[in-house]
Amino acid sequence: MVAGAFSRDPETSAAGAATYRLPSERAYTSLDALIAAERAREDGVEMLVVATPNHHHATAVKAGLAAGLAVMCDKPLTGTLPEARELERAVREASAPLAVSYTYSGYPLAREARERIAAGAIGTVRKVVVEYPQGWLAGDDGSKQAAWRLDPATAGDGGCIADIGVHAFHLAEFVTGLKVVRLFADLAAVVPGRALDDDCQLLLRFDNGARGALLASQISVGERNGLRLRIYGDRGGLDWAQENPNHLWFHHADGRTELIQTGDQGLSADAQRATRTPGGHPEGYLEAFANLYRDFARRIRGEDAPLLPGIDDAMRGMALIDLAVKASRDERGWVEFQG
Amino acid sequence: MVAGAFSRDPETSAAGAATYRLPSERAYTSLDALIAAERAREDGVEMLVVATPNHHHATAVKAGLAAGLAVMCDKPLTGTLPEARELERAVREASAPLAVSYTYSGYPLAREARERIAAGAIGTVRKVVVEYPQGWLAGDDGSKQAAWRLDPATAGDGGCIADIGVHAFHLAEFVTGLKVVRLFADLAAVVPGRALDDDCQLLLRFDNGARGALLASQISVGERNGLRLRIYGDRGGLDWAQENPNHLWFHHADGRTELIQTGDQGLSADAQRATRTPGGHPEGYLEAFANLYRDFARRIRGEDAPLLPGIDDAMRGMALIDLAVKASRDERGWVEFQG
Amino acid sequence: MVAGAFSRDPETSAAGAATYRLPSERAYTSLDALIAAERAREDGVEMLVVATPNHHHATAVKAGLAAGLAVMCDKPLTGTLPEARELERAVREASAPLAVSYTYSGYPLAREARERIAAGAIGTVRKVVVEYPQGWLAGDDGSKQAAWRLDPATAGDGGCIADIGVHAFHLAEFVTGLKVVRLFADLAAVVPGRALDDDCQLLLRFDNGARGALLASQISVGERNGLRLRIYGDRGGLDWAQENPNHLWFHHADGRTELIQTGDQGLSADAQRATRTPGGHPEGYLEAFANLYRDFARRIRGEDAPLLPGIDDAMRGMALIDLAVKASRDERGWVEFQG
Amino acid sequence: MVAGAFSRDPETSAAGAATYRLPSERAYTSLDALIAAERAREDGVEMLVVATPNHHHATAVKAGLAAGLAVMCDKPLTGTLPEARELERAVREASAPLAVSYTYSGYPLAREARERIAAGAIGTVRKVVVEYPQGWLAGDDGSKQAAWRLDPATAGDGGCIADIGVHAFHLAEFVTGLKVVRLFADLAAVVPGRALDDDCQLLLRFDNGARGALLASQISVGERNGLRLRIYGDRGGLDWAQENPNHLWFHHADGRTELIQTGDQGLSADAQRATRTPGGHPEGYLEAFANLYRDFARRIRGEDAPLLPGIDDAMRGMALIDLAVKASRDERGWVEFQG
């Protein structure tokens, strides 16, 4: 990181910059100021990370791309689907690349699972269970992080579905290589007084006919960040959980249960590339994130980075939020999902 | 066990009896023969265990009760709801008691969880996730056990929902003390050619407004008997899994995570009564089953056995099978559940 | 169980009998009385279980065998090695069999591990780590169970080493098929005022040159019954823990990690014979114990029961207690172990 | 990283530099060349990381300190104790600071455990079990990493004891706040033909009288990097394992078992400072390492960094290697340890 707009307040922004040991001259009070000043520098920024509340995403991404900057945007792409559709055009026309931080797809063993399924290790996928329980919004913890996520003005149309449901959704499609084509949505604001969902239950159908369930929750007291994906084929099964990310369970068709660990011999090239340390030296969330950044660096340099989530993944997430919220609210039953 | 009808074939039945070291004179070839002969003995049987395929349950239970025998019947009570309704009358009029083997409610820590919730340890229940994945019917293993479960003539209306779904359902109601009042059902026969469901996804509403999901499957390759129940209240959470039955996770509202083990100090009287060994000496499935039998012995002697599943629980299971199968088949959306 | 001497006090003994639903006439106040009365009955006892404090074992075993009863004796065989040596002669001359309840060798997966090693699955054993931490004697819990174990008059020469150390020792030899031939002992009474050891650290050499460590402790606060055995060969490793007894880890030489579960396909005949339920239906301590009883029933009937611990195993345990206590007390360094 | 001596061969060194995106002009072929050239630069290096085989440590550290560079040296400090003693003088006289990368002390929950013990949470420490099994040297994997560790010319006096034993030793002293004062050592070269130990068993006494065991091994097939520390006091116990570093088990004196996770509320300031992400977002080895670097940055700036391992810790490690190797070889029995 070489520069940042850390706050609208000059002092706060400078303090933010100091945290990262950046010179105060590169602490800005707005994205426009940042872009203008950095463009004038020979060593100006090449890449922009958008990590604001959702309602600012569209403007920031558009400004970044317009300035020729590569942009890594937090998920969801925007607060609402119409915003996203408008932004999508700008993205597709831009010369600079966009990536979306579906971080969990950066874990070595999530990539290993994907590769194994693609290679037929579990046969035809029949059933997918993806869950993502958290408990931090079971009450109101009074934090800024909670406040903007609970407010439609800053979060957009979705609460839990937009904050973590799209992660679960992306991971399921990423690992299986399948696409959701139909769903049933049951969203609710469990905590009284909330305008946005804090608990989501979705039933899924994939394009090969596989069945699935997606359970995401932010009121599951005691759960930290329990993203877990289980996939069952006609010849095997896989089970991976984010909180124990260096373990991947592989159920063989003949009944054997194998525990695959990050760094094991014989893992796929994708998993190896995403691994920094020898087996038994745990890697975590920051390394997964770094793998997305590394992929993005490749993309920026014009190299191949097929696993990096881009505008298509971003738009599928937005479509999911939009459809799930509406279908649940209107009790529409099973609905087709175009993505 | 003192007598049995182990087969219609006299030799096979005698061989079955020998397995249990019973005298061959008490090996019968039909239930009627057993009842007739045992009634004539001073030391004749007092209690009948019905562990046949489902389509025989109704006749056997009725015969047993009519002969004044206490009857422990495997779940589900019968193959179909109409059969169950007819049987229900006989049960309610009988002087001898009936119990249904929802075995998992016999585990000490399932009872501990129930007691804690009743005592308010997690506040108001908001969310219930109960899952029961198995993999043994992912293919056709050719076993007798598989054959009768997959055939409507012997299993009745439900496949997976009747075989294990009702276990999950009963456990969820047993532990929470709540009743399901509304549900959405998504059942399917995943393996081609099957007449009965082998994978079930249900979304639930409980009578206090709590939300829930019930996922039962018999095509989840690699899963053995993965019944697991997670319950989240507004002030805590509980997590118990049958395959590791001596561990109960208790998430406190203040963020602390406690691991409760069978045999720990301070457990409820119900849990203590269901425990035979000191902490660290694992108890399992057979002890859970024995706890139901012990409860039933109390019931037979006229003593109190409030945790023992009886006709009400049996009928709720039958109503669930019936409604889930039909609502899913007809894509009825959310349906009210009377139980 | 058909009879018992539950106490020297007639009322207490009768109450004990009632617990097991035995008629009061078969509740005795001494072993002699039991033997005399039961011999006079046509349906008298055939087998005696000695489950008293250690100092009574020798007399009771001798009396039982002299009366022609098969005897299952708790470990350790006696309180002291001289007592054991004297008893050994009686045992070897008796026509009735003796077994010693090294219970943990009754678990299906302990037997599976033994069979795999015998079949060469991990190559030559090089290293054995067996540990058995408990915490219940970290303080004085005031129980009868604690009192007699802490008193040399009732426990004999060893504390922790005699109570649980011998279990760990037997299991290590049972599973590896090797014999300890040399050891270094470091025993201590950690809690002030104790006359017997409550924490044991032993370093071992086996007869094939393999190295080992045995750590047993009763002052390890928070540990329940943490017996665990890890064995490393030149071509693989095995890892089994009593508190999670239906899981056995198998490390292949090529780096793969396999989780073997009770009930899995392809397990050895020994493991299958010791298993009562399908996979995923956990079995525990009582079933392990029952497997020893079943083996003993075979032995009594003159059938083969090669895994059942008998007088040789009992004497090795006694020799271990004797040597470990003395070698540690006298700081003898490495000592040869004859067993 | 701004410069490096990656190889004696100019091309290889330049290639190494390219990996880190360093300009080729800062890729050197010797440390002397690096120091000379960097001193001449205004933006020259301030800190040197010594990550060579052990036999180069002394020279490199000395040269770095002499040039006024802060030095972070891999453990062990040197190959032999005499080398270390000579270097020690230079270190103590140098104006620039030295740190030693006992990496595992950088994990948040290792620091939490240390703080809890210091605060009396488990009372007086009575028993310490620290183990560090690895399996990668069970055979000869032919790697460079293996080759230099197995050769006394490059590794020095110790094999396993120097490579990982000192990590376990440091962690035990770091977390307990106690010092080892007496030990019994049992080291061996298990794999035929090895000159250095590949398996270590140590029994320990700490300065408060606590007992301990240290088991380190590199021939434990299937183990990756299984460093684990268990500490039992008279009022509680703690259990932490490096491969699952975000979990810390706390056994309360009253029998309750608590699972503490990185990021939990109420953790100590030391743990919080060492934590980068919210709970449930796993941190790993690289973050632990980074915590040592961050501490070292503080030290370099003259700020307080009390947890950072320095020359005292380094010398204790060297003394351990020296004594353990000799005491084991000569079968000296228990020996005093000055450190």
User: Residues A101, A85: contact at Cβ < 8 Å?
Assistant: no
Q: For the stretch B258-271, what's the b/e string if a residue is b when 16 or more beta carbons lie within 10 angstroms of its beta carbon?
A: bbbbbbbeebbebb
Cβ distance B257 to D259 less than 8 Å, yes or no, reads: yes
**Which residue on chain B is closest to C133 by alpha carbon?**
B280
Cβ distance A257 to C254 less than 8 Å, yes or no, reads: no
Rounded CA separation C86/C81 (Å): 9
The answer to whether residue B9 is domain-embedded is no
Look up tokens 């020798």; give the residue. C58
CB atoms within 10 A of CB A203: 23
Between A255, A264, A265, which is nearest C264 by CB?
A: A255
The answer to whether residue B250 is domain-embedded is yes
- Please check whether residues A87 and A130 belong to one and the same domain: no
Cβ distance D203 to C186 less than 8 Å, yes or no, reads: yes
**Closest listed residue to residue B216, CA positions, set B157, B156, B145, B162:** B162
**Closest listed residue to residue B286, CA positions, set C279, C261, C282, C275:** C282
Distance from CA of B339 to the nearest CA of A (A): 22
Is the model's pLDDT at A140 over the cut of 90? no
pLDDT digits (tens, 9 = 90+) for B134-174: 999 999 888 999 999 999 999 999 999 999 999 999 999 99
Amino acid residing at C118: A
Residues from chain C that touch A259, judged by Cβ atoms under 8 A, are 257-259
Q: What is the pLDDT of residue D4?
A: 95
Rounded CA separation C313/C302 (Å): 20
Look up tokens 């009390």; give the residue. D306
- Please check whether residues C92 and C185 belong to one and the same domain: no
Q: Decide: helix, strand or coil at residue D139.
A: coil
pLDDT tier at D142 (50, 70, 90 boundaries)?
confident
Q: Which of A126, A140, A197 should we substitute to test contact with B (largest number of B Cβ atoms within 10 Å)?
A: A126
> Is beta strand B27-28 parallel, antiparallel or unpaired with respect to B4-5?
parallel
User: Residues D7, D28: contact at Cβ < 8 Å?
Assistant: no
Question: Which H or E run includes D298?
Answer: helix D285-300
- Please check whether residues C156 and C181 belong to one and the same domain: yes
Cβ distance C280 to B244 less than 8 Å, yes or no, reads: no
Distance from CA of C62 to the nearest CA of D (A): 40
Is the model's pLDDT at C230 over the cut of 90? yes
pLDDT digits (tens, 9 = 90+) for D21-70: 899 999 999 999 999 999 999 999 999 999 999 999 999 999 999 999 99
Distance from CA of D252 to the nearest CA of B (A): 11
**Closest listed residue to residue C286, CA positions, set B261, B289, B264, B283:** B283
Half-sphere exposure for A275 (CA within 13 Å, toward CB): 24
| Average pLDDT for B101-118 | 98
- Please check whether residues D204 and D114 belong to one and the same domain: yes
Q: What is the pLDDT of residue B21?
A: 87
Between B134, B280, B282, which is nearest C282 by CB?
A: B282
Q: What is the percent of chain B with per-residue pLDDT over 90, rounded to a whole number?
A: 97
Main-chain phi, psi angles of D211, to 5 degrees: -100, 160
Cβ distance D282 to A278 less than 8 Å, yes or no, reads: no
Rg (CA), chain C: 20
- Please check whether residues A215 and A129 belong to one and the same domain: yes
- Please check whether residues A130 and A269 belong to one and the same domain: yes
User: Residues B260, B248: contact at Cβ < 8 Å?
Assistant: yes
Distance from CA of B261 to the nearest CA of C (A): 9
Q: Angle of helix D81-93 relative to helix D57-66, nearest 10 degrees?
A: 10
Rounded CA separation B198/B141 (Å): 14
Cβ distance A232 to B253 less than 8 Å, yes or no, reads: no
**Closest listed residue to residue A178, CA positions, set A211, A207, A209:** A207
Q: Counting beta carbons within 10 angstroms of the beta carbon of residue C62, is it exposed (0 to 12), middle (13 to 18) or buried (19 or more)?
A: middle
- Domain ranges, residue D80: 4-100
DSSP letter for each residue of A137-181:
TSS----HHHHHHH-HHHH-S-SHIIIIIHHHHHHHHHHH---EE
Mean pLDDT of chain D: 97
pLDDT tier at D286 (50, 70, 90 boundaries)?
very high
**Which residue on chain D is closest to A145 by alpha carbon?**
D278
Q: Which two tokens stand for residue C16?
A: 């004990």
Between B243, B263, B286, which is nearest C280 by CB?
A: B243
- Please check whether residues A38 and A128 belong to one and the same domain: no
Among residues A71, A100, A129, the one where a domain terminates is A100
Angle, CA of C281, C282 and C284, to the nearest 5° = 145
- Please check whether residues D243 and D126 belong to one and the same domain: yes
Q: Where are the alpha helices (DSSP H) in chain A?
A: 10-19, 31-39, 57-66, 81-93, 108-118, 144-150, 152-155, 160, 166-176, 269-273, 285-300, 311-329
- Please check whether residues C183 and C251 belong to one and the same domain: yes
Using the 8-state DSSP alphabet, how is residue C223 labeled?
-
Amino acid residing at C328: S
For residue A13, the domain's CATH number is 3.40.50.720
Residues from chain B that touch D258, judged by Cβ atoms under 8 A, are 256-259
Q: Is C30 left (phi over 0), alpha (psi -120 to 50) or beta?
A: beta
Q: What is the pLDDT of residue A175?
A: 98
Distance from CA of D246 to the nearest CA of A (A): 9
pLDDT digits (tens, 9 = 90+) for A50-102: 999 999 999 999 999 999 999 999 999 999 999 999 999 999 999 999 999 99
pLDDT digits (tens, 9 = 90+) for A190-238: 999 999 999 999 999 999 999 999 999 999 999 999 999 999 999 999 9
Q: Which two tokens stand for residue B179?
A: 């009743």
Rounded CA separation D90/D47 (Å): 17
> Is beta strand A125-133 parallel, antiparallel or unpaired with respect to A211-217?
parallel
The verdict on pTM exceeding 0.90 is yes
Q: What is the pLDDT of residue A21?
A: 87
- Please check whether residues D62 and D127 belong to one and the same domain: no
Mean pLDDT of chain A: 97
Is the model's pLDDT at A32 over the cut of 90? yes
**Closest listed residue to residue B230, CA positions, set C322, C59, A131, A7:** A131
Residues from chain B that touch C225, judged by Cβ atoms under 8 A, are 278-281
Between D255, D257, D265, which is nearest B255 by CB?
A: D265
Is the model's pLDDT at C169 over the cut of 90? yes
Residues from chain A that touch D223, judged by Cβ atoms under 8 A, are 280
Rounded CA separation D45/C177 (Å): 59
**Which residue on chain A is closest to B202 by alpha carbon?**
A203
Q: What is the pLDDT of residue B142?
A: 85
Q: What residues of B are in the A interface, CB distance below 8 Å? A: 122, 126-127, 129, 131, 133, 135, 138-139, 184, 186, 188, 190, 199, 201, 203, 211, 213, 215, 217, 219-223, 230, 232-237, 239, 249, 251-253, 255, 257, 331, 333-334
The least confident of A157-161, B20-24, B268-272, C44-48 is B20-24
| Average pLDDT for D75-93 | 98
Among residues C65, C83, C100, the one where a domain terminates is C100
Rounded CA separation A288/A273 (Å): 11
Mean pLDDT of chain B: 97
Cβ distance B259 to D259 less than 8 Å, yes or no, reads: yes
Q: Which two tokens stand for residue A57?
A: 């995403």
> Is beta strand D27-28 parallel, antiparallel or unpaired with respect to D4-5?
parallel
Number of folded domains that form chain D: 2
| ipTM summary value | 0.96
The answer to whether residue A302 is domain-embedded is no
**Which residue on chain D is closest to C128 by alpha carbon?**
D220
Whether the CA torsion D188, D192, D196, D200 is positive or negative: it is negative
Between D188, D222, D232, which is nearest C220 by CB?
A: D232
Rounded CA separation D34/B330 (Å): 77
Is the model's pLDDT at D310 over the cut of 90? yes
The answer to whether residue B156 is domain-embedded is yes
Q: What is the pLDDT of residue B63?
A: 97
Cβ distance D135 to C249 less than 8 Å, yes or no, reads: no
**Which residue on chain B is closest to C264 by alpha carbon?**
B224
CA-to-CA dists, residue D231 to B171, B215, C241, D121, D240, angstroms: 38, 41, 19, 11, 9
- Please check whether residues C70 and C133 belong to one and the same domain: no
For residue B149, the domain's CATH number is 3.30.360.10
The answer to whether residue C286 is domain-embedded is no
Residues from chain D that touch A286, judged by Cβ atoms under 8 A, are 276-277, 283, 286-287
CA-to-CA dists, residue B28 to B35, D51, D277, angstroms: 9, 79, 67
The answer to whether residue C76 is domain-embedded is yes
The answer to whether residue D292 is domain-embedded is no
> Biggest alpha carbon distance in chain A?
64
Residues from chain D that touch C257, judged by Cβ atoms under 8 A, are 222
Rounded CA separation A4/A33 (Å): 10
Cβ distance B279 to C224 less than 8 Å, yes or no, reads: yes
Q: Which of B256, B258, B261, B267 should we substitute to test contact with D (largest number of D Cβ atoms within 10 Å)?
A: B256
- Please check whether residues D86 and D127 belong to one and the same domain: no
Rounded CA separation C167/D311 (Å): 44
Among residues C52, C75, C100, the one where a domain terminates is C100
How many residues appear in chain B? 339
User: Residues D254, D145: contact at Cβ < 8 Å?
Assistant: no
The answer to whether residue C25 is domain-embedded is yes
User: Residues C21, C37: contact at Cβ < 8 Å?
Assistant: no
**Which residue on chain A is closest to B190 by alpha carbon?**
A126
**Which residue on chain B is closest to A254 by alpha carbon?**
B222
Between D211, D219, D235, which is nearest C199 by CB?
A: D211
Q: What is the pLDDT of residue D309?
A: 98
Q: What is the pLDDT of residue D339?
A: 80
Cβ distance A265 to C258 less than 8 Å, yes or no, reads: no
Question: Which H or E run includes D203?
Answer: strand D199-206
> Biggest alpha carbon distance in chain D?
64
Rounded CA separation C71/C98 (Å): 5
Look up tokens 């209107």; give the residue. A330
Q: Which residues pair with B100 in a beta bridge?
A: B73
**Closest listed residue to residue D121, CA positions, set D112, D110, D134:** D112
pLDDT digits (tens, 9 = 90+) for D160-197: 999 999 999 999 999 999 999 999 999 999 999 999 99
Q: What is the pLDDT of residue A339?
A: 80
Which residues touch B201 (CB under 8 Å, ≥6 apart)?
A203, A211, A213, B185, B186, B187, B213, B214, B215
Cβ distance C284 to B279 less than 8 Å, yes or no, reads: no
CB atoms within 10 A of CB C150: 21
Peptide bond into D192 cis (omega under 30): no
